[in-house]
């Protein structure tokens, strides 16, 4: 017996000969709901109305209005119907007909005149295959959904952890932590423009999200800078500035202690951003004095977001610049 708890509990018989529909329907009427159509056009209407409940379609080739190949053409055009097995009812056993039918994805053939046991076995095989395939797809869909949900939760928790860790530096620096909240959307905006106008850099949507998250870690090394330098309200001396510049290296050293993270692409983004977000294309940056394409494009995006926010925000050593002035200073290489 078939499992009638399955959602698909209907057999569609599309054949212009009433006696054929009666014989086939009689084989399965105690186990399935039998729906009949005497031509291809009515068969298509029946399928459209009941496709979620159909376990197998038994289809004649030679019919009025729309023939069997017309019905197969319709089924082929509808992705949601691609899994429903179709068994052809035909007296034409030519190689050409078989090849054409299989090209449409036909599951099997029933030759006229019918042999009841053969009909029942082939229909049963088709339905079992459909149930098995559908169950597997549903299981895969459910598993994929759970993995996606778990990934979203993990991303959310990682976001909280990154923000919390990054904000430690901001609070220690006597700032509000708003810099961390701003640099991520600024980075995202810049990366979107790189995506649009410089496709040769192959920036994907996933990269945009990951790099924006990683940008929050750019100044994590400042946690190792002494208070008398980090909190100094005036200009740093040359020696003090040399100590301050060490924060890019300290940040990388700190990241290397994150167990299990240092083999991921996200770690690479965090590491490169920490180490090189103060590089400049004229080699006047630090710590490695890189230039041009030696600085990864995403690091350049974070550096631009960082300096823009630094210019437009009030700090202990300066007041905030207006947007237009900040843009002018950046374009002038200041």
DSSP assignment of 243-260 equals HHHTHHHHHHHHHTTSTT
Q: CB within 8 A of 144, min separation 6: which ones?
A: none
Structure token digits, residue 214: 């990683």
Q: CB within 8 A of 231, min separation 6: which ones?
A: 173, 174, 316
Task: Return d(Cα 134, Cα 95) in angstroms, integer.
Answer: 30
Q: Phi/psi at 84 (nearest 5 deg)? A: -75, 120
229, 242 Cβ separation under 8 angstroms: no
Which residue is listed with tokens 């977001």? 305
Largest CA distance in the chain: 101
Structure token digits, residue 66: 């729309």
Beta strand 33-37 with 54-60 is unpaired
Q: CB within 8 A of 146, min separation 6: which ones?
A: none
Which one of 33, 222, 265, 318 is the catalytic residue?
A: 222
Return the bridge partners of 90, or none: 111
60, 105 Cβ separation under 8 angstroms: no
DSSP letter (8 states) at residue 322: P
Which stretches within 112-174 are classed as H helix?
A: 116-172
291, 282 Cβ separation under 8 angstroms: yes
**Start-to-end Cα distance in the chain:** 81
222 is catalytic: yes
List active site positions. 222
């Amino acid at each position: 017996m078939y499992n009638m708890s399955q959602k698909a509990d209907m057999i569609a018989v599309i054949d212009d000969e009433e006696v054929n529909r009666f014989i086939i329907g009689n084989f399965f009427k105690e186990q399935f709901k039998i729906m009949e159509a005497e031509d291809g056009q009515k068969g298509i209407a029946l399928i459209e109305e009941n496709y979620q409940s159909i376990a197998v379609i038994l289809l004649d080739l030679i019919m009025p209005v729309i023939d069997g190949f017309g019905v197969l053409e319709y089924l082929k055009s509808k992705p949601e119907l691609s899994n429903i097995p179709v068994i052809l009812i035909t007296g034409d056993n030519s190689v050409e007909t078989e090849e054409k039918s299989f090209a449409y994805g036909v599951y099997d053939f029933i030759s006229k005149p019918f042999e009841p046991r053969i009909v029942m076995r082939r229909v049963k095989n088709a339905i079992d295959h459909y149930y098995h395939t559908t169950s597997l797809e549903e299981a895969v869909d459910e598993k994929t959904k759970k993995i996606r949900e778990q990934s979203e939760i993990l991303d959310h928790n990682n976001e909280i952890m990154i923000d919390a860790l990054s904000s430690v530096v901001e609070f220690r620096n006597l700032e509000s932590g708003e810099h961390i909240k701003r640099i991520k959307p600024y980075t995202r905006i810049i990366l979107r423009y790189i995506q649009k106008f410089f496709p040769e850099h192959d920036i994907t949507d996933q990269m945009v999200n990951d790099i924006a998250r990683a940008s929050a870690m750019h100044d994590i090394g400042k946690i190792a800078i002494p208070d008398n330098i980090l909190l100094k309200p005036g200009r740093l001396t040359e020696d003090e500035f040399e100590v301050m510049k060490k924060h890019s290296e300290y940040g990388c050293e700190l990241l290397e202690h994150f167990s299990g993270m240092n083999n991921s692409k996200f770690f690479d983004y965090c590491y490169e951003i920490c180490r090189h977000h103060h590089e400049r294309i004229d080699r006047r940056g630090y710590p490695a004095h890189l230039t041009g394409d030696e600085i990864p494009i995403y690091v350049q995006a974070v550096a631009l977001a960082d300096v823009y926010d630094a210019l437009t925000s009030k700090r202990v050593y300066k007041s905030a610049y207006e947007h237009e002035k900040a843009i002018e200073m950046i374009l002038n290489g200041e």
